[in-house]
């Protein structure tokens, strides 16, 4: 085994078939079936992460100048919390559960056995490059899977520290990191997986699902989209501005659930825009380029795409950019139509378009005429308006009078709908993604329902009568 893995590193190229064979062999030994074993591995993982905190902060800073506070909260705390919830519950989640057995299966017992799906593949994006490998990994380990993790090639420093941590905790035939981009991911996807957990763009999500279809590998797809924030005229202007600015510009606006665009009542715009400008200044100072609290764009390609998107928009705040450092100021724009590029694709950067509406129907139509969003935010003090918005749009998840916070509640499933994703994660929902629920009925050998065997004779009529009685159907 060790020999196969050593060979797989030859010339820096990973021999994927050898790695897969080694992981299948490890899985077949059955060690990961023990919830106690999984729990111990999770405890070990949390200890090793703790010992590398400073390196993790430095890696994220090197990849896109992510501020220490934002790494401490959105990368480290989130993962520690994932670990805490999994360590506490792994035994309970893995327990065999007895369920009712219907009359026709009597005498008998029925139970559900949560079992690991097997070898899992985790493919991560660059925007929360640590957390979006580690979060799903915690769920996969809790579920008893072996894992191949493929971090994003656009966050290489984070990819390196992830490998350092994982190789200190797990042997490679249990958890392995494969670095690379399109060719490596494409090669990995030609194999059958117990589960594929992909986080990334909707375009690539379709490619992954298409490849998974060829091997019938089940998928979770955590994708992107355009997240609206609908503001109602009953909302508090100051609080709305502050909470929106925080959620939009956190992580340099490279957040899948960041508010993408605002829908504001026409009459409220004159009051809200200065409040947003003020909130930006209070958060990042008069020159956000000097602020240590504002991250940079991840790549030149991403930077160029965003700057180009500003063409034809009326800049109300920000707009300043610096290609050599990939800095784009927190920017607010208006004067764009629904056909402008800013309203055609996920922005995924620090540009906040403000659109106005006259009636709530009009605002809802703008949202409902496009793909189902991953997140939706409502700012209102009117309960009936809030209810109406929540009930009339299909979206993954969201918040009322705040932003981003639904992500960190592990009692809530996190995921999209339609174009924004398939399946969900976090807490028990993440465990379930990597788990097969095996159903078993046990019949005693000493007794049986003899009526079910042919020749049926008159039992057909008796069965129909019995079914009617059981279903309480008339006569």
Smallest gap from residue 12 Cβ to ligand NAD (A): 18
- Integer CA distances (angstroms), 429 to 108, 234, 426, in order: 30, 35, 5
- Integer CA distances (angstroms), 83 to 232, 261, 407, 426, in order: 38, 33, 15, 11
CA 475 to chain centre: 51
Smallest gap from residue 130 Cβ to ligand NAD (A): 12
- Cβ-contact 121, 218 below 8 angstroms: no
> In the set 22, 76, 121, 123, which binds ligand NAD (CB under 6 A)?
123
With CB under 6 A as the contact rule, which of the stretches 109-117, 196-204, 282-290, 321-329 interacts with ligand NAD?
Answer: 196-204
Phi, psi of 356 (to 5 degrees): -115, 160
Smallest gap from residue 201 Cβ to ligand NAD (A): 3
Residues 397-436 that bind ligand NAD (CB under 6 A): 416, 421
Smallest gap from residue 280 Cβ to ligand NAD (A): 22
Q: How many residues does the chain have?
A: 475
Smallest gap from residue 205 Cβ to ligand NAD (A): 7
Smallest gap from residue 326 Cβ to ligand NAD (A): 15
Q: Total residues contacting ligand NAD (rule CB under 6 A)?
A: 28
Q: Where are the beta strands (DSSP E) in 391-452?
A: 397-400, 421-422, 435-442
With CB under 6 A as the contact rule, which of the stretches 19-27, 93-101, 119-127, 439-447 interacts with ligand NAD?
Answer: 119-127
- The residue nearest ligand NAD at its CB is 224
Q: What is the DSSP pairing of strand 421-422 with strand 327-328?
A: unpaired
CA 33 to chain centre: 25
Give the integer Cα–Cα distance in Å for 435 and 437: 6
Residues 291-350 that bind ligand NAD (CB under 6 A): 346, 348
DSSP state of 375: E
> Count of CB atoms within 10 A of residue 458's CB?
7
> In the set 67, 125, 159, 228, which binds ligand NAD (CB under 6 A)?
125
- Cβ-contact 306, 349 below 8 angstroms: yes
> In the set 127, 242, 424, 435, which binds ligand NAD (CB under 6 A)?
127
Q: Given the complex with ligand NAD, which of 16 and 315 has the nearer CB atom?
A: 16
- Integer CA distances (angstroms), 305 to 83, 233, 308, 332, in order: 36, 33, 5, 17
Q: What is the per-residue DSSP string for 228-252?
A: EEEE-TTS-HHHHHHHHHHHHHGGG
Q: Given the complex with ligand NAD, which of 128 and 303 has the nearer CB atom?
A: 128
Residues 216-275 that bind ligand NAD (CB under 6 A): 222-224, 256
Q: Given the complex with ligand NAD, which of 297 and 378 has the nearer CB atom?
A: 297
> In the set 79, 86, 120, 124, which binds ligand NAD (CB under 6 A)?
124
Candidates 145, 256, 346, 399; catalytic one: 256
Q: Give catalytic status of residue 256 as yes or no.
A: yes
Reduce the DSSP state of residue 404 to 3 states and report it. Answer: coil
Q: How many CA atoms lie within 13 A of 121 on its CB side?
A: 28
Give the integer Cα–Cα distance in Å for 135 and 474: 52
Residue 181 interacts with ligand NAD (CB under 6 A)? yes
Q: Given the complex with ligand NAD, which of 273 and 352 has the nearer CB atom?
A: 352
Phi, psi of 416 (to 5 degrees): -100, -170
Candidates 222, 266, 282, 362; catalytic one: 222
Residues 197-216 that bind ligand NAD (CB under 6 A): 199-201, 204, 207
Give the integer Cα–Cα distance in Å for 212 and 190: 8
Q: Given the complex with ligand NAD, which of 201 and 443 has the nearer CB atom?
A: 201
- Cβ-contact 137, 122 below 8 angstroms: yes
Residue where the block lists tokens 């309960």: 383
Q: Give catalytic status of residue 222 as yes or no.
A: yes
> In the set 8, 94, 131, 152, which binds ligand NAD (CB under 6 A)?
152
Please enumerate in sequence order all residues whose Cβ is within 8 A of that of 201, keeping only pairs 6 or more positions apart, or say none: 125, 223, 224, 346
Smallest gap from residue 420 Cβ to ligand NAD (A): 7
Smallest gap from residue 147 Cβ to ligand NAD (A): 15
Q: Given the complex with ligand NAD, which of 161 and 374 has the nearer CB atom?
A: 374
Give the integer Cα–Cα distance in Å for 311 and 113: 56
Smallest gap from residue 258 Cβ to ligand NAD (A): 9
Q: Given the complex with ligand NAD, which of 194 and 205 has the nearer CB atom?
A: 205
Q: Which residues are catalytic?
A: 222, 256
Q: Which chain residues interact with ligand NAD by CB under 6 A? A: 123-128, 132, 150, 152-153, 181-182, 185-186, 199-201, 204, 207, 222-224, 256, 346, 348, 374, 416, 421
């Amino acid at each position: 085994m060790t020999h196969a893995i050593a060979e797989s590193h030859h010339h820096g190229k990973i021999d994927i078939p050898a790695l897969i064979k080694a992981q299948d062999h490890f899985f077949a030994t059955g060690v990961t079936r023990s919830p106690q074993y999984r729990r111990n591995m999770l405890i070990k993982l949390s200890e090793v992460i703790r010992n590398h905190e400073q390196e993790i902060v430095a890696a994220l800073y090197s990849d896109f100048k992510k501020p220490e506070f934002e790494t401490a909260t959105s990368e480290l705390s989130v993962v520690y919390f994932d670990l805490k919830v999994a360590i506490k519950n792994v035994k309970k989640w893995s327990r065999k559960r007895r369920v009712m057995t219907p009359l026709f299966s009597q005498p008998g017992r029925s139970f559900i056995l949560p079992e690991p799906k097997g070898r899992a593949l985790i493919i991560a994006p660059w925007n929360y490059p640590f957390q979006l490998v580690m979060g799903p990994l915690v769920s996969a380990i809790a579920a008893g899977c072996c894992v191949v993790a493929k971090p994003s090639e656009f966050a290489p420093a984070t990819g390196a520290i992830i490998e350092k941590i994982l190789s200190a905790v797990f042997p490679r035939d249990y958890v392995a990191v494969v670095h690379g981009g399109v060719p490596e991911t494409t090669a990995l996807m030609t194999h059958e997986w117990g589960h594929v957990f992909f986080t990334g763009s909707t375009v690539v999500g379709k490619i992954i699902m298409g490849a998974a279809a060829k091997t019938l590998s089940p998928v979770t797809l955590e994708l992107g989209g355009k997240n609206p924030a609908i503001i109602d005229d009953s909302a508090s202007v100051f609080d709305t501005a502050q909470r929106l600015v925080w959620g939009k510009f956190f992580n340099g606006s490279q957040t899948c659930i960041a508010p993408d665009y605002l829908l504001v009542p026409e009459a409220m715009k004159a009051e809200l825009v200065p409040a947003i400008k003020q909130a930006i200044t209070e958060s990042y100072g008069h020159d956000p380029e000097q602020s240590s609290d504002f991250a940079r764009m991840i790549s030149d390609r991403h930077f160029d795409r965003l700057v180009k998107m500003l063409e034809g928009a009326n800049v109300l705040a920000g707009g300043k950019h610096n290609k050599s450092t990939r800095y784009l100021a927190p920017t607010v724009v208006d004067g764009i139509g629904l056909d402008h590029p800013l309203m055609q694709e996920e922005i995924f950067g620090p540009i906040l378009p403000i659109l106005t509406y006259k009636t709530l129907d009009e605002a809802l139509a703008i949202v409902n005429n496009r793909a189902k969003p991953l997140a939706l935010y409502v700012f209102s003090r009117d309960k009936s308006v809030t209810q109406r918005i929540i009930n009339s749009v299909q979206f993954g998840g969201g918040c009322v009078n705040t932003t981003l916070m639904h992500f960190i509640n592990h009692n809530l499933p996190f995921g999209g709908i339609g174009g924004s994703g398939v399946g969900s994660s976090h807490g028990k929902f993440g465990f379930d993604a990597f788990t097969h629920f095996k159903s078993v009925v046990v019949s005693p050998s000493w007794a049986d329902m003899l009526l079910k065997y042919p020749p049926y004779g008159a039992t057909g009529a008796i069965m129909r009568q019995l079914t009617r009685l059981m279903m309480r159907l008339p006569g």
